[in-house]
Structure 1
């Protein structure tokens, strides 16, 4: 195997493929990246038995071939190379990398021990890559991180014709986002799958610059389902797959209230800044108290045995006064995901979940990306 490639193109491809490498691989070969040269195309692949990444780029090939090298080491090296064309040559059991006056010789691993990469499923449709990345980021923030509850570590992806719905919850908050996509066959476009939140967020973010993002889906049997994403950025074709979670997602729609006793319109950035300030006097999980009254929101945190902070904001409020409290980080996550400068907070009672939505009252707001977003958060019970 022998090829020449531009330094930046190689560094970007290796860094992208290395995203799927396990931090603590169960097999030594899973720490490697597979380099394959066929014709004038170099393929760089990574696989951890759950998620895979593969990127193709054009090179000047001297000889075809395949090799497996440490992915982390290759990523570090290619990132640090000087700005010159890179010559890569497989010489026996070692891979030589020459760039300007820099020379590296890396040991290789047995290619025959590397597992076969999963096959990309059939394309289900396409979606705007930037909008999809933003939607996934809005929802994935609410996914759980406890691997003992796998049904809460994923994002539920629902396909219903031209509507794509994403939902995630960790029992304390719920995020739901709807967006429009282009199914390959609108008449039969229907599916509900659970995708690992971390893998989905990583794939969506890394492919956000693609011209269009293709979503491929193979439901399969228990534990065999796969979802794939592919796109082309600056002439570089990238693909990622991840195994679907074999778990039942909670029936989240029943949690969303349909009626409200009171509503508040609050400036997002001012509320974010105020919550961060008053939360300084307590530990990061202690609640921040919020009291809504006529055109006023009073925030407070802390107590008699520790520091105490208070602050007031002007808001638009309709309904009877209400006092509630939230985990400050959960509240900040929801506010940070809103695409508008003003948030609508919808209350049923002080002890029931509160809904955050973008405020679309401004004349130009209906076209705002992310308008179909709902973030539900459970309040923290106050003493007494």
Structure 2
């Protein structure tokens, strides 16, 4: 399968997703982003138990590609990808050759190619958690959010003019939904109990 995508859009999608990845060595699956094809977009998802972040970028073109392909990419590989193509001009296209073992990335006019090997971990099933019950743009009750965690959602913007929308659930102590235009959706757990990370982990289906 081959995908052609704007390299700046690809890197923004990946690096702004791993803002929400974990750093716990005992949970290596949470140090990765799940990268997958859905329709005509490449999606990336990461979670650290307290937050979830999902980004997407649309293909410019694709060959022999169908929804369902997915791999786990470690945050270090995403950092290396960003460093390799940091100076590439906006509008330059990258070619992704993808399969079940990883993906090879090449960029037009750039001599460096990168081979990213998929990590063999089981990523938690988090899609259902993104369906927040409620559409309130103001809290229905007192809601306390971690300001440092919240700041990372601002970093996920691709432009300083992009507005961040916050949606609060009907029930208290449930995840708060954050969206940025049509390219980002995420969740953040409210601050309440010292074991909130363990509760989120349990909801994600991960056993420590």
TM class by shorter-chain length? 0.7 to 0.9
Deviations 1:83-126 (A, max 9, x none): xxxxxxxxxxxxxxxxxxxxxxxxxxxxxxxxxxxxxxxx6211
Q: Partners in 2 of 1:337 and 1:189 — Cα distance?
A: 25
Query: Is 1:126–1:183's contact at 8 Å kept on the other side of the alignment?
Result: yes
- 1:184 corresponding residue in structure 2: 63
- 1:379 corresponding residue in structure 2: 190
- Check 1:324–1:217 CA distance in 2 against 1; reply closer, same or farther (3 A cut): same
Q: CA deviation at 1:158?
A: 0.9
Q: Partners in 1 of 2:184 and 2:123 — Cα distance?
A: 19
Question: How many correspondences in the alignment?
Answer: 187
The answer on 1:331 being equivalent to 2:150 is yes
Superposition TM-score, scaled by structure 2 size: 0.80
Q: CA deviation at 1:217?
A: 2.2
Q: Which runs of 5+ in 2 are unaligned?
A: 195-208
- 1:343 corresponding residue in structure 2: 164
- For the residue of structure 1 that corresponds to 2:174, the secondary structure is coil
Q: Partners in 1 of 2:135 and 2:184 — Cα distance?
A: 21
- 1:259 corresponding residue in structure 2: 133
With CA pairs under 8 Å and 6+ residues apart, which has the higher RCO, 1 or 2? 2
- 1:150 corresponding residue in structure 2: 28
The answer on 1:198 being equivalent to 2:79 is no
Query: Is 2:45–2:53's contact at 8 Å kept on the other side of the alignment?
Result: yes
Which of these residues, 34, 41, 52, is aligned with residue 163 of structure 1?
41
Q: CA deviation at 1:329?
A: 1.4
Q: Partners in 1 of 2:118 and 2:129 — Cα distance?
A: 24
Q: CA deviation at 1:227?
A: 2.1
- 2:4 corresponding residue in structure 1: 126
Instruction: Give runs of aligned pairs for residues 1-384 of structure 1, distance below 5 A.
Output: 124-181=2-59, 182-186=61-65, 188=66, 190-204=68-82, 206-207=84-85, 209=88, 211-219=92-100, 225-232=101-108, 235-264=109-138, 320=140, 322-338=141-157, 339=159, 340-348=161-169, 349-358=171-180, 371-381=182-192
Q: CA deviation at 1:256?
A: 0.8
- 1:363 corresponding residue in structure 2: none
Q: Partners in 2 of 1:261 and 1:214 — Cα distance?
A: 39
Superposition TM-score, scaled by structure 1 size: 0.45
- For the residue of structure 2 that corresponds to 1:330, the secondary structure is helix
- Check 1:185–1:154 CA distance in 2 against 1; reply closer, same or farther (3 A cut): same
- Check 1:346–1:137 CA distance in 2 against 1; reply closer, same or farther (3 A cut): same
Q: CA deviation at 1:259?
A: 3.2
Q: Partners in 1 of 2:5 and 2:162 — Cα distance?
A: 26
Query: Is 2:132–2:175's contact at 8 Å kept on the other side of the alignment?
Result: no
- Check 1:207–1:189 CA distance in 2 against 1; reply closer, same or farther (3 A cut): farther
Query: Is 1:124–1:215's contact at 8 Å kept on the other side of the alignment?
Result: yes
Q: CA deviation at 1:243?
A: 1.9
Q: Which runs of 5+ in 1 are unaligned?
A: 1-122, 220-224, 265-291, 293-319, 361-370
Q: CA deviation at 1:352?
A: 0.6
Between Structure 1 and Structure 2, the one with more strand by share is 1
* Structure number with larger C-alpha Rg: 1
Q: Partners in 2 of 1:259 and 1:205 — Cα distance?
A: 39
